[in-house]
Copies of this chain bind each other. A is one copy, B any other.
């Protein structure tokens, strides 16, 4: 594998700006890597769309990243991971990493009680992608560690994060309402099954502590996925050896609202955001 192979960028794909939490974790974990982010903001949100529509959009949009000659594709979107990961793996000739399996792996490493909660959007919960991935991995890892998995759809958490109301009494009351819908069991692990939820981590942790009377491990897709990307690139000898790196941000619709939200999700203001047209 030549230096030029290793110097190609990583591509990160999301339906909108939530995937910037994954991008942020990637930048922290892999500071030497060039990364191109594509947010399909012209067609966000994918969450309520039919599975076939999501597949069509995902293949179509990631074509733009392929033109950038990426060495790996990160699908930083739960909906696209749930409905289109297999199609994307079949379509493109680079490693494709979704946000579900990395978290599922970590669940099996950290849970002791085997009682796991999953918070997600309505679409993610309906897709059952987290319980399925966790149980599939659990079956292939010796003695089963999972007792029960319970999901809660939390549609209001996304707008709370986007609005910048991640802490405070409204966020706490909403989080408490959702966590009250989990049964009274000995949960020790909660999956934050949406790329927006890392912004609500502190609120969710505090409310979970009150709800279950114990410290609960919160696992989010951003950090788990970044670790998985690193392992994948390392195993293929594709890690960059560069001293400097570039980060590029492409959006299919460049309204002021997205620019403002991007800053909130990425932590700092993305240096430049470029509009790209996607024609189907």
Contacts and interface: CB of A to CB of B under 8 A. Distances in A.
A50 B123 CA distance: 26
Nearest to A155: B163
A258 B48 contact: yes
A53 interface: yes
A49 B253 contact: yes
A48 B257 contact: yes
Contacts of A163: 155-156
A122 B123 CA distance: 24
Contacts of A253: 48-50, 53
Given A156-B160, A174-B170, A255 B48 contact: yes
A255 B155 contact: no
Interface in A157-176: 158-160, 162-163, 165, 169-170, 173-174
Interface residues of A, number: 32
Contacts of A159: 155-156, 158-159
A41 interface: yes
A53 B42 CA distance: 8
Nearest to A121: B257
Contact of A49 (B126, B173, B177, B255): B255
A250 to B, nearest CB: 15
